[in-house]
Amino acid sequence: MTLIEEMATRYRGQEALIGGNIRYTWLELQAQIRQFAKGLYAAGVQSGDKVGILMGNHPDWIIAHFGIMALGGVTVAVNTWASSRELAYQLGHSETKVLLMTDSFLNRNYLKLLENAQNLRPHLSNLEQIFCKSTKALPNGITHFDLLWEMGKKVSENSIDKRIATVNGEDIACILYTSGSTAEPKGVLLQHFALIENMWNIGERLHITENDRLWLAVSLFWGLGCENALFAIWTHGGCIILQEYFEAGESLKLIEREKCTVYYGTPNMTLALLEHPDLSKRNLLSLRVGATLGSPSQIRALISLGVPETCQIYGLTETYGNCSINDSHDTLQRRVETIGKPLPGNNMIIADIETGESLPPNKIGEIRLKGYVTPGYFKDPEKTSASFDLNGYFCTGDLGFIDKNGYFYFQGRVKELIKTGGINVSPAEIEKVLMSYMGVEAAYVIGLPDIRKDEIVAAVLVTKIPIKEKNITELCQKELASYKVPKKLLFISHENLPLTNTGKLKKSSLKLLFN
């Protein structure tokens, strides 16, 4: 809340947040967040309580997030693409006490998904209150979202000020769920001070000022949205232009109409904009600087869209979204080919995977770092411990090298995560679902190269009996978020699996089966 108060003092009447027909100046935004915090206070939210948010990129998402943090609560950013099973896991594992949601989004009925989630995981008894944005009558036990604003009117300014004063920079601000090498997503803990300090440094590398306007269609539940982009712009007093969900034609209109200067997006979003028939009709000359991830050709694609100061970013949810980035005034070659230099406060090295020793320039090893790193995974001390080496460096699982000038180069992943459309997907999670289908003896999930999404999810299934591909796809659509559903399936016998001389699976050779 201190950040909002500082910006409201500095930039009072300047626009801070725009979404749909809603426009807030910094002063208006400050008032909205305080009022919402009062509503949460009246609802009984205490310091450390977990409060989930399940809705698209609406201004209320951000207002709720800052209202929760103002009280010392912990935001649980819920995946808007989650299936009932995934929703049950996130809400149960995070011990979410209060859920703020919308009744539907992109033709997904969240009330039905939530009902199914509660049936799947009856011990969601920790979920005490649900506030839902809706124009319709709600089921018993669910309260209209707007009531929170009314409840807050009974809370004094003094009560809120006292609570705000108890929040410490070291406190946990939010939990973001990210796929890992295990079957279930990990709850990444993030602290207040690092969200401010690390993202301030990102904004400095991008040369952001209070006059910049960020186009933001990246989902807010994802680290690139609510960690990286949001705080990079707001620590510098700029304005966020929210798009509720990405649709290329609407994006082009929005960027033109609001004269956006900052672009945050994934390669597949860039490609969709470049291919849209309306591109030639839109004036995108306001765009100046961009932050994206991908191959050199994908970085150049964003530049060709009309974002001259495009920078490649590198990081994980665990590293506050971004730990290395180019300066937007670096040479084009460096901004295209490298992931830049570590941000201030981050000590990044290339380590020998076996020994952990720091490697000299031009030697490929694992990217590891100290600095702005998660304090750990929620309720998982074993995974937390395993993520740091004996020297205290966080192990990213990514390969890279450093040149003689201190610039880092990304060289692929040590882990088997699939990156599709900029989102990490765990093969183990999908394999677990596939193995639940009767007759599936073994399941192996891999990523296949794709021009739009970097990789698409593919699965090799060893079956005991004939199985229809349609049945497997329907199972995955029910149990998994849409981007996790395998786009290609291959049914083979055990004898046709690529094995080593000792009988172990050569997972790296599975891609050849799809040729």
Residue 430 CB partners (closer than 8 Å, separation 6+): 443, 445, 457, 459, 476, 480, 484, 486
**pLDDT tens across 227-245, in order?**
999 999 999 999 999 999 9
Confidence band of 53 (pLDDT split at 50, 70, 90)? very high
Going by pLDDT thresholds of 50, 70 and 90, the confidence category of residue 165 is very high
Residue 185 lies in a domain: no
User: What is the Cα–Cα distance from 325 to 345, expressed in whole angstroms?
Assistant: 13
Do 488 and 418 contact (CB within 8 A), yes or no? no
Alpha-carbon separation of residue 215 from 24, 28, 286, 493 (angstroms)? 15, 20, 11, 49
52: Cβ contacts below 8 Å, ≥ 6 apart: 75, 76, 77, 78, 90, 91, 94, 96, 98, 99, 100, 101
Q: How far apart are CA 177 and CA 244, in angstroms?
A: 20
d(CA 58, CA 102): 10
424 pLDDT tier (thresholds 50, 70, 90): confident
pLDDT (tens digit per residue) in 109-118:
999 999 999 8
What pLDDT band is residue 182 in, cutting at 50, 70 and 90? low
Same domain, 247 and 233: yes
Give the pLDDT score at 123: 65
- Half-sphere CA count of 471, side-chain side, radius 13 A: 11
The residue among 118, 150, 167 that closes a domain is 167
Question: Among candidates 10, 88, 18, 5, which has minimal Cα distance to 54?
Answer: 88
Asked whether residue 37 is assigned to any structural domain, the reply reads yes
Same domain, 355 and 444: no
Residues 393 and 493 in one domain: no
Can you tell me the mean pLDDT for 436-448? 91
What percent of the chain shows pLDDT beyond 70?
98
Tell me the two tokens of residue 408. Answer: 């880092």
* Residues 250 and 377 reside in one and the same domain: yes
Cβ(27)–Cβ(213) below 8 Å = no
Q: Binning pLDDT at 50, 70 and 90, where does residue 297 land? A: confident
Q: What's the mean pLDDT when you consider all of the chain? A: 93
CA distance 391 to 233: 34
CATH number where 422 lies = 3.30.300.30
* 371 and 429 within one domain: no
What total of structural domains would you count in the chain?
Answer: 3
Question: Would you say residue 177 lies in a domain?
Answer: no
Q: Both 204 and 340 in a single domain?
A: yes
Q: Is the pLDDT of residue 354 over 90?
A: no
Asked whether the predicted pLDDT for residue 502 surpasses 60, the reply is no
Name the residue range of residue 86's domain: 2-9+25-167
Residues 437, 352 share a domain: no
Residue 212 in domain: yes
Higher-scoring residue by pLDDT: 295, 33: 33
- Say if 64 falls within a structural domain: yes
Banded pLDDT at 441 (limits 50, 70, 90)? confident
Instruction: Please check whether residue 94 lies inside any domain of the structure.
Output: yes
Which of 426, 430, 515 is closest to 185 using CA atoms?
Answer: 426
Predicted local confidence at residue 505, as pLDDT: 79
Order of strands across the sheet with 324-325? 22-25, 15-19, 239-242, 213-216, 262-264, 289-292, 309-314, 324-325, 341-342
Residue 501: pLDDT band with limits 50, 70, 90: low
For residue 187, the cross-strand partners are 177
**Residue 321: pLDDT over 90:** no
The answer to whether residues 323 and 226 belong to one domain is yes
pLDDT in the model for residue 314: 94
Per-residue model confidence as pLDDT tens digits over 466-485: 999 999 999 999 999 999 99
Residue 337 shares a structural domain with residue 211: yes
Residue 93 pLDDT exceeds 90:
yes
Question: Which pTM was predicted?
Answer: 0.88
Separation of alpha carbons 90 and 318, rounded Å:
17
Least confident of 261-270, 383-392, 411-420: 411-420
Choosing from 359, 394, 413, the residue where a domain stops is: 413
Confidence of residue 122 (pLDDT cuts 50, 70, 90): low
Q: What is the pLDDT of residue 414?
A: 75
For the chain, give the longest Cα–Cα distance: 73
To the nearest 10 degrees (0 to 180), the angle between helices 26-42 and 157-165 is 90
For residue 243, what are the CA distances in angstroms to 28, 212, 285, 432? 20, 17, 19, 34
User: Are 408 and 425 found together in one domain?
Assistant: no
Other beta carbons within 10 Å of 382 = 8
pLDDT-based confidence at residue 500 (cuts at 50, 70, 90): low
What region, left, alpha or beta, does residue 323 occupy, with left being phi > 0 and alpha being psi -120 to 50 degrees?
A: alpha
**103 and 71, same structural domain?**
yes
Domain at 307, CATH number: 3.40.50.12780
pLDDT band at 503 (very low <50, low <70, confident <90, very high): low
Structure tokens of 153?
Answer: 């009117």
Cα–Cα dist 460/448, whole Å? 12
pLDDT at 452: 86
Last residue of some domain: 392, 413, 434?
A: 413
User: How distant, in Å, are the alpha carbons of 228, 413, 425 from that of 419?
Assistant: 18, 10, 6
How many angstroms separate the CA atoms of 67 and 187, rounded? 21
Q: Name residues whose C-beta falls within 8 Å of residue 503's C-beta, 6 or more positions apart in sequence.
A: none
Query: What's the pLDDT tens digit per position in 59-83?
Result: 999 999 999 999 999 999 999 999 9
User: Per-residue pLDDT for 120 more than 90?
Assistant: no
Q: Kindly state the tokens that stand for 120.
A: 């799947």
Summarize the chain as % helix, strand, coil (round to 5). 35, 25, 35
> What's the whole-number mean pLDDT along residues 357-369?
94
The yes-or-no verdict on residue 265 having pLDDT over 80 is: yes
Looking at the structure, tell me whether residues 402 and 425 fall in a common domain.
Answer: no
Please identify which residue in the block is written with the tokens 């996130």: 90
Tokens of 89: 């896991």
Residue 183 lies in a domain: no
Any residues with CB less than 8 A from the CB of 3 and at least 6 apart, and which? 196, 234, 235
* Average pLDDT value for residue range 253-273: 95
Asked whether residue 327 carries a pLDDT value surpassing 70, the answer given is yes
Question: Is the model's pLDDT at 341 over the cut of 90?
Answer: yes
Say what the pLDDT of residue 181 is: 55
pLDDT digits (tens, 9 = 90+) for 183-221: 688 999 999 999 999 999 999 999 999 999 999 999 999
Residue 478: count other Cβ atoms within 10 Å of its Cβ. Answer: 13
In a domain, 175, yes or no: no
Q: How many helices (H) and strands (E) does the chain have?
A: 17, 27
Q: Which residue has the tokens 């992109």?
A: 106
Confidence class for position 418, pLDDT limits 50, 70, 90: confident
The answer for residues whose C-beta is within 8 angstroms of residue 414's C-beta and 6 or more apart is 353, 366, 397, 398, 399
pLDDT at 124: 77
The token pair that represents 77 in the structure block = 């950013």
